Chain A
Amino acid sequence: MTTVVTGLGVLAPNGLGVESYWKATLDGRSGIGPLGGFDTSRYAARLAGQVRDFEARDHIPGRLLPQTDVSTRFALAAADWALTDAGVDTGALPDYDMGVVTANALGGFAFTHREFHKLWSQGPEYVSVYESFAWFYAVNTGQISIRNGMRGPSSAVVTEQAGGLDALGHARRTIRQGTPLMVTGGVDSALDPWGWASHLSSGRVSLVDSAERAYRPFAADATGYVPGEGGAIVVLEEESAARRRGAPTVYGSIVGYAATFDPPPGSPRPPGLRRAAETALVDAGISASDVDVVFADAAGVPELDRAEAEAVRGIFGPRRVPVAAPKALVGRLFAGGGALDVVTALLAMRDGVIPAVPGDVDVPDDYGLDLVHGEPRQARLSHALVLARGKGGFNSAIVVRGTTADN
């Protein structure tokens, strides 16, 4: 049973909508800039990948505005776009044939910050009743489900930056168990003052003040990452069901997925990323030599970059596969990261081009990585391996097959 991708919805710091994001990514246009919305002058880091020009009332029913955090507004809009792209008439399909699985790592920070401020300064009777769910990791799944009348098996996964891939993996599992259509993916946003302070507590955020230099995954002088917001929601369908309803576009298929946990700190065992990737290849029934491009987790933290390089080198051999890190243009999007990378992989396969990290990147020789940087690279792409790691020991890998693989 094959799981195909029939609809894409993207909300990224460098572009709203799939084609706008994809053009910006190929042009090397970054969405990283000074964090706006509050005074950041006393914070150690001041750059973020911020979604711009998203006017919620243009995309979300007025009824939903008082009860939604910015992250949920992103999720609802991206889900709408994905369903429109897929040409799905939700009213024409049985409620129980459509499910939702989204990932979220951060919850509704900005909403909760505002309500907690009321709690402390005015009293509990001033706190919105919607705080009861607006903060919650599962709220995006719930709101997408309610808005679109989708009552099939639905859930939420919380595995930090690995979540976007885990959501797609679980959606594929749900399709195999008999639900023909799943809306899945991930978005995150926590760029209010409280969310920002929480980001900084990771100790991995770059303190460099130059938007061009702050987030340089795999560079010898990498200094950490830049947090971003946004992500992607996609429509997955069982292939024959998609064909039956006449889905206008098949972008590709999710052919392999695996997730692993790292051993505890101090353990002599290696990290789990390589095992996740290899298990996903086995699940896909392909070998490493069939993979045409790897979309890296690209932590931007030297020891994590080194560990990922070691995993990729171990699987493929030194410089044997092109490695893409388009998140250098948007920052790390948490649950949105893996989902957006899968969309990017599908577009790369569609158009036969691997997006580049802009500029020159001095990758240490012993990483053994063929990092695509400078200019996008033309290539015929049949299979992409997408990797993601979440803080706390999560590793996930997805193998995506493009439609060119069938020709």
Chain B
Amino acid sequence: MNEITLDDLRRVMAACAGADDSVDLDGDIIDVRFEDLGYDSLAVMETVAILEREHKVKIPDERIVDLPTPRAMLDEIRRSLTTAS
């Protein structure tokens, strides 16, 4: 799997960190900060961990704190995918 989309991220976010009526992950979330989506640092870590497994990439832990939004996270994964291939 060498591509990743916002929908992939949405699915993983819902699966690993839960979802409820308080947040609409289907909305325009690409530049919304994770904390404003109700995802704390552990939820972001869990999301990254699953994406790492699914896409066979490794994001260093210290980089995770620098990924405040879905866009930043997708960019980071795509960068790793490019480096890996």
> A residues bordering B, Cβ < 8 Å?
61-67, 125-126, 128-130, 132
**B53 on the A face (CB < 8 A):** yes
**Would A63 and B46 count as touching, CB distance under 8 A?**
no
**Interface size range of chain B in the complex:** 10 to 19
> B residues bordering A, Cβ < 8 Å?
15-23, 38, 42, 45-46, 49, 52-53
- Given A128-B46, A129-B46, A130-B46; A63-B53 close (CB under 8 Å): no
**Would B52 and A62 count as touching, CB distance under 8 A?**
no
Bound state CA distance, A62 and B18, in angstroms?
5
Chain A interface secondary structure, helix, strand, loop or mixed? helix
**Would A63 and B18 count as touching, CB distance under 8 A?**
yes
CB proximity of A125 to chain B, nearest CB, Å: 6
Partner among B19, B42, B46 whose Cβ is within 8 Å of the Cβ of A62:
B19
- Given A129-B42, A130-B42; A62-B49 close (CB under 8 Å): no
Chain A residues lying within 8 Å of B20, measured Cβ to Cβ, are 61-63
Chain B residues lying within 8 Å of A132, measured Cβ to Cβ, are 42
Q: Which of B20, B21, B22, B53 has the most CB of A within 10 A?
A: B20
Bound state CA distance, A132 and B16, in angstroms?
15
**Would B45 and A129 count as touching, CB distance under 8 A?**
yes
**Would A67 and B53 count as touching, CB distance under 8 A?**
no
Chain A residues lying within 8 Å of B46, measured Cβ to Cβ, are 66, 128-130
Chain B residues lying within 8 Å of A61, measured Cβ to Cβ, are 18, 20, 22
**Would A63 and B17 count as touching, CB distance under 8 A?**
yes
Chain B residues lying within 8 Å of A130, measured Cβ to Cβ, are 42, 46
**Would A64 and B42 count as touching, CB distance under 8 A?**
no
**Would B18 and A66 count as touching, CB distance under 8 A?**
yes
Chain B residues lying within 8 Å of A65, measured Cβ to Cβ, are 18
CB proximity of B56 to chain A, nearest CB, Å: 11
CB proximity of A75 to chain B, nearest CB, Å: 17
Chain B residues lying within 8 Å of A66, measured Cβ to Cβ, are 15-18, 46
Q: Which of A67, A125, A128, A129 has the most CB of B within 10 A?
A: A129
CB proximity of A387 to chain B, nearest CB, Å: 40
Q: Please name 10 further chain A to chain B contacts, defined as beta carbons within 8 Å, in addition to the given A63-B19, A66-B46, A126-B53, sorted by A numbering.
A: A62-B20, A62-B21, A63-B17, A63-B18, A63-B20, A63-B38, A66-B18, A125-B52, A125-B53, A130-B46
CB proximity of A23 to chain B, nearest CB, Å: 32
Chain A residues lying within 8 Å of B38, measured Cβ to Cβ, are 63
Bound state CA distance, A130 and B53, in angstroms?
17
Chain A residues lying within 8 Å of B21, measured Cβ to Cβ, are 62
